[in-house]
Amino acid sequence: MNKKLGVYICHCGGNISDYVDVEKVRQSVEKEEGVFLAKTTMFACGDSNQKEMVEDIKSNHLDGVVVASCSPKLHLLTFRAVTERGDLNKYNYVHANIREQASWAHSDDKAGATEKAIHIVKAAIAKVRYAESLVPIKISSIKSVAIIGGGVAGMKAAIELSDLGCQVYLIEREYFVGGRVSQWDTLFTTNETGKELVTRLYNDLAKRKNITVYTGTEVISNSGSIGDFKLKVKITPRYIKEKCNQGELQNAIDACPVEVPDDFNFNITSRKAIYHNFPGEYPQSPVIDTKNCTRCGACEKICENVDFSQKEEIKEINAGSVLMATGFDPYTPADGEFGYNLYNNVVTLPQLKRMIDLSDNTLKFKGREIKNIVYIYCVGSRQVEGENKYCSRYCCTSAIHVAITAKKKFRDIYNFHFNRGIRTYGKQEVLYDESSKMGDIYLQSYEDDPPVVTSQNGKTIVKINDILTGKKELEVEADLIVLVTGMVPRKDNSVGSLFKLPKGRDKFFNEIHMKLRPVETVIDGITISGACQGPKNIMETVNSALSAAAKSYSYVSKGVLELEPIIARIDKSLCTWCNACSKACPFDAVKMEEDKTKAYAVINNSVCKGCGMCLPVCPTDAINLIAYSNSEIESMIDALA
């Protein structure tokens, strides 16, 4: 172990040298075993010093380098790069932090600070003696992406990835693509309909040969990781042959005796067991919902295309990256929340939107004509008592847009907005302007004093202590009460658990960094987009879908992935497979393998993040973390003592 080491001690202008006697540090370490040269420098990160370091490493054939300066967060990568430029493997560089840990922390005690700095540098020298040259782990990556969820986010990402030359598998749990957006009529700010958007996206999808769309399909397991996810999917058949005669099918639908609440219309209407949500949706083929079908055979007699012989299918899909676009559920109010399920004229905003879409000349609900509509905002969002502390972003604008639509489509509609502050941010503000100019009335209350819904002699009255009128108690008789419900994570989010995707406090999928890594997850190779990450409107959803597509593409584009080599390593001879490490691993990177003699643990190199959680739980000390081995850490502790 005769390494030639170079040590540099930085003044950091005076940030270090004002409190730490850097010359004394240099003198104390220059005689350390292996130290070939020890220098002080005004700014280690400065260009001239970097050049000098490169020269030193090259001309003296140094085997290890230590810079004692600031936090590694600031300049670890800088000096690793310098080391590389000196033709030395970058893992032979060790960083010593004597600014945050010595000079700044002990500015009242110069002698003590200097003493501590000497120990820190000696510990770094101890570590660098063990340093070995490492090469990044290379794994191959399949140039295909599996997108889970066929709403606008999934469809848009699919088109983008297809254009980049990826094979795309678009997996949709429902029988039709388009997700929530297909349920909406006109959309805010553009007034296009949701159906139009979905049609455009679907036509774009259909043109592309490298996109495979699976509907009625659920992911049931995954056994792979970044570069090669191995997904098992279950495809439920439609029980209708691909090509079918529309007229006959309509007769078959009419003949079906089963009627169930239609969740496409948020249960305000019913549908048959053989159904399509609306004419012209995609794929343009109806479906038999076998959960409700009684197999009476009525449809089969009318239409020859009904085919009950179709079988459920299990398929395997391999993908280099997985893009999650599973969307949201609208919040379901609790029984009695603002009269929900208590009075018969309380609905949610999505229900009203469907009602407006389905009504022609007059807006009627349960046979009664609607004139006065009361909107109660922030239901299920910004909760004081409940867990949903977040703002759902889309609802203020959506409620106002719905109010305008209703007022324009039907006669004598009066809208009353019971809100907690209107948040029609950005370009959406024009809708707020339009609605108030149309005569919509806005009433505001604080979160601790919400509006109260009561029923008096068959009339539904909403009361509020309006803060815009000096907290005067005001009331209005409502024909219809609309709860402006926010977004919540999908009720069935099992697909997230399947990938061990972490969730935030709001129970939506969590990104790594809100601002700088907004679509990546801690599970390598899995990106998130759209409302499965948190409330978003369509515009924001498409933005995040395109960004997730770009990120997923970066995992698969080169065919090869380079991963950080600092990971856990198992000494097979010591391992007795007790399962403790596998339980401790947060990333599911440890698997058991067996040979003739015994069972032992194996680390999945592409999944391990080198966090070190498995090390202390190993009873036989069979695990070492590369670059942080026991001997390295122990020698550092010895130097510090």
- Do the Cβ atoms of 43 and 13 come closer than 8 Å? yes
> Any contact of residue 463 with other proteins (CB under 8 A)?
yes
SS3 151: coil
CB nearer other proteins, residue 289 or residue 479: 479
Q: Nearest Cα to 224, choosing from 132, 157, 320, 305?
A: 320
Would strands 229-235 and 313-319 be described as parallel, antiparallel, or unpaired?
antiparallel
Q: Which residues are CB-neighbours of 43 under 8 A, at least 6 positions away? A: 10, 11, 12, 13, 49
User: CA–CA separation, 545 vs 553, rounded Å?
Assistant: 12
Site for other proteins in 477-496 (CB under 8 A): 477
Ranges of H-type helices in 374-437: 395-409, 429-437
> Residue count at the site for other proteins (CB under 8 A)?
24
Convert residues 424-443 into a mask of x (bound to other proteins by CB under 8 A) and - (unbound).
--------xx--xxxxxxxx
Q: Which 3 state secondary structure label does DSSP give 168? A: strand
Asked if residue 283 has a cis previous peptide bond (ω within 30° of 0), the answer is yes
Q: How many CB atoms lie within 10 A of CB 428?
A: 20
Q: Which of 267, 469, 576, 620 binds other proteins (CB under 8 A)?
A: 469
Nearest-approach distance from CB 457 to other proteins, in angstroms: 15
From the CB of 561, what's the least distance to other proteins, in Å?
Answer: 53
Q: How many residues does the chain have?
A: 641
- Of the pair 272, 420, the CB lying nearest other proteins is at 420
Min dist CB 415 to other proteins, Å, is: 9
Binding status of residue 455 toward other proteins by CB under 8 A: no
Beta pairing, strands 346-348 & 452-456: unpaired
Please classify residue 135 by burial: count the beta carbons closer than 10 Å to its beta carbon, then call 0-12 exposed, 13-18 middle and 19+ buried.
Answer: exposed
Q: Does 468 bind other proteins (CB under 8 A)?
A: yes
3-state secondary structure at position 633: helix
In the bound state with other proteins, the residue whose beta carbon lies nearer, of 214 and 414, is: 414
Shortest distance, CB of residue 461 to other proteins, whole angstroms? 9
Contact region with other proteins (CB under 8 A), list: 79-87, 400-408, 474-482, 562-570: 474-482
Look-up of token digits 């990160």 = 45
CB of 372 to other proteins, least distance (A): 9
Contact (CB, 8 A) for 471 and 465: yes
Which CB, 121 or 396, lies closer to other proteins?
396
DSSP per residue, 230-274: EEEEEE---SB-SS--HHHHHHHHHH---EEE-GGGTTSSEEESE
Nearer of residues 87 and 475 to other proteins, judged by Cβ: 475
Q: How far is the CB of 381 from other proteins (least distance, A)?
A: 21
Q: Which is nearer to other proteins, 115 or 466 (CB)?
A: 466
- Per-residue DSSP letters for 512-535? SBTTTBTTB-SSTTEEE-GGGSS-
Cα(309)–Cα(312) distance, rounded to whole angstroms? 10
Amino acid identity, residue 360?
Answer: D
**Interface segment toward other proteins; rule CB under 8 A; list 259-267, 401-409, 468-476, 595-603:** 468-476
Residue 476 found at the interface with other proteins (CB under 8 A): yes
Strands 480-485 and 372-379 turn out to be parallel
For residue 72, what are the CA distances in angstroms to 79, 115, 136, 353, 602? 9, 20, 20, 54, 31
Q: In the complex with other proteins, which residue's Cβ is closer, 82 or 374?
A: 374
Residue with smaller CB distance to other proteins, 70 or 400: 400
Provide, rounded to whole angstroms, the least separation between the CB of residue 466 and other proteins: 8
Pick from 23, 313, 475, 492 the residue near other proteins by CB under 8 A: 475
- Site membership for other proteins, residue 201 (CB under 8 A): no
CB nearer to other proteins: pick between 428 and 606: 428
Closest separation between CB of residue 427 and other proteins, Å?
17
CB of 456 to other proteins, least distance (A): 12
Find the part of the chain contacting other proteins (CB under 8 A) among 469-477, 498-506, 525-533, 538-546: 469-477
The shares of helix, strand and coil residues in the chain, as percent rounded to the nearest 5, are 30, 25, 45
CB 485 within 8 A of CB 349: yes
CA–CA separation, 64 vs 76, rounded Å? 14
Site for other proteins in 385-424 (CB under 8 A): 414, 416, 422
Residue 382 Cβ vs other proteins, minimum distance, rounded to whole Å: 20
Between CA 76 and CA 91 the distance in angstroms is 11
Q: Output the smallest distance, CB 434 to other proteins, in A.
A: 10
Nearer to other proteins, 435 or 544 (CB): 435
**Cα–Cα distance measured from residue 264 to residue 282, given in angstroms and rounded to the nearest whole number:** 14
Nearest distance, CB of residue 464 and other proteins, angstroms: 9
Q: Bridge-partner residues for 346, per DSSP?
A: 481
CB nearer to other proteins: give 90 or 401. 401
Smallest distance, other proteins to C-beta of residue 473, A: 5
Residue 474 makes contact with other proteins by CB under 8 A: yes
Comparing CB distances to other proteins, the nearer of 407 and 536 is 407
Identify which range of 248-256, 324-332, 353-361, 465-473 contacts other proteins by CB under 8 A: 465-473
Q: Choose among 217, 283, 145: nearest CA to 495.
A: 217
Binding other proteins by CB under 8 A: which of 31, 360, 470, 515? 470
* Least Cβ distance, residue 416 to other proteins (angstroms): 7
CB 439, min distance to other proteins, A: 5
Check residue 337 for interaction with other proteins (CB under 8 A).
Answer: no
Judging by beta carbons within 10 Å of its beta carbon (0-12, 13-18, 19+), is residue 492 exposed, middle or buried? Answer: exposed
- Given a contact cutoff of 8 angstroms between Cβ atoms, the answer to whether 281 and 195 are in contact is yes
Nearer of residues 9 and 478 to other proteins, judged by Cβ: 478
The residue within the footprint of other proteins, chosen from 207, 472, 583, 598 (CB under 8 A), is 472
Minimum CB distance to other proteins smaller for 249 or for 462: 462
- Helix, strand or coil for residue 12? coil
N-to-C CA span, the chain: 22
Using the rule CB under 8 A, is 181 a contact of other proteins? no
Closer to other proteins at the Cβ: 466 or 524? 466
Residues that bind other proteins (CB under 8 A): 414, 416, 422, 432-433, 436-443, 463, 466, 468-470, 472-477
